[in-house]
Amino acid sequence: MKIVFAGTPEFAAQAMRAIEGAGHQIVLVLTQPDRRAGRGMHLQASPVKQFALEKNIPVLQPETLRRTVADPQKKIQAEGAYKQLLVTDFDAMVVVAYGLILPQEILDITERPGRFGSFNIHASLLPRWRGAAPIQRAIEHGDAKAGVCIMQMDAGLDTGDTVMVEELDIGSNETSATLHDRLATLGAKLIVNTLHQLETVGNLPRSPQAAQGITYAEKIAKDEAEIDWGDDAQNIDTRIRAFNPFPGATSSIGNLSLKLWNSRIPRNAPSEEQASTGQILGFGDESVFVKCGTGVIEILEMQKPGGKRIPAKLCLQGLSEAGEMLRFQAKENSVP
């Protein structure tokens, strides 16, 4: 089959590689414009663009696909993308974490006679966690299961009918990084299965999403990263793991700002009696136990500014003199 592919991050690139590896021809790629990143803030191509260039696939990078936009330059880009899609010979469009909304006129192109339409790989069990950050929100809210839905796209936000669904369990110590990798593998498998069925059978059974259980996964903001030690230990644990790798949970001891990368609820914790919120209660072999508003959390991995991610105990060694109490700074609204 001939495929137009729209996507940007590594999650999408993995699906793209699987589609190409299954023998389909990707004839056109849409991806986000190059962004500045890294210490030198150099322009970097997305993982999807990098793979497309390796395979000599044409790439479009409009800032928007809406031809009604007021900005003249953006409008020219959108017009160019629209006209290119009009003249491209393809069978279906696959969209994975693209980052731009597809207007109805673009979807209409993909649904012309002889075409199968547009299919989206969404990393949640729809209708739960529609939106930008389904993986992070699932972990943050303590979900027991995640999964991938292949969705026949419509103009709504992740509202289309599902054509394939597969779920998996979320581990008790899962981070967004590890769940991302598992779901990327699953999504790549399911989209290949979807295209195979379209090619061999010519259609797919479609299931409308349930009207109940709808939730929205808002984009992760950097200001969410600061830990409130007055919160329940379970909530702090899920937030630390949800924000790994982005934006990374943060907290401070004195003037030192630290990243908290991994944690768990300990089976056997030091006594928290008479301890204050954010106080370090003791150390494990490589970890640190911290008093929360309710309960105790075990921090497994931390990072100092400019340093590497290392075991939490090692990170804090040498911060205090003998007998000095180490305590993470609590937010003003934290329970003392």
Prior bond to 247 cis, omega within 30? yes
102 annotated as belonging to a binding site for a ligand = no
What are 68's two structure tokens?
A: 């009604």
Prior bond to 9 cis, omega within 30? no
**Over the Cα atoms of the chain, what is R_g?**
23
124 annotated as belonging to a binding site for a ligand = yes
326 annotated as belonging to a binding site for a ligand = no
β-bridge mates for residue 4, sequence order = 28, 93
260 annotated as belonging to a binding site for a ligand = no
Q: With helix as H, strand as E and coil as C, how does the chain read?
A: CEEEEEECCHHHHHHHHHHHHCCCEEEEEECCCCEEECCCCEEECCHHHHHHHHCCCCEECCCCCCCCCCCHHHHHHHHHHHHHHHHCCCCEEEEECCCCCCCHHHHHHHCCCCCCCEEEEECCCCCCCEECCHHHHHHHCCCCEEEEEEEECCCCCCCCCEEEEEEEECCCCCCHHHHHHHHHHHHHHHHHHHHHHHHHCCCCCCECCCCCCCCEECCCCHHHCECCCCCEHHHHHHHHHHCCCCCCEEEEECCEEEEEEEEECCCCCCCCCCCCCCEEEEECCCCEEEECCECEEEEEEEECCCCCCEEHHHHHCCCCCCCCCCECCCCCCCCC
Provide the annotated binding site for (6S)-5,6,7,8-tetrahydrofolate. 124-127
Residues within the annotated binding site? 124-127
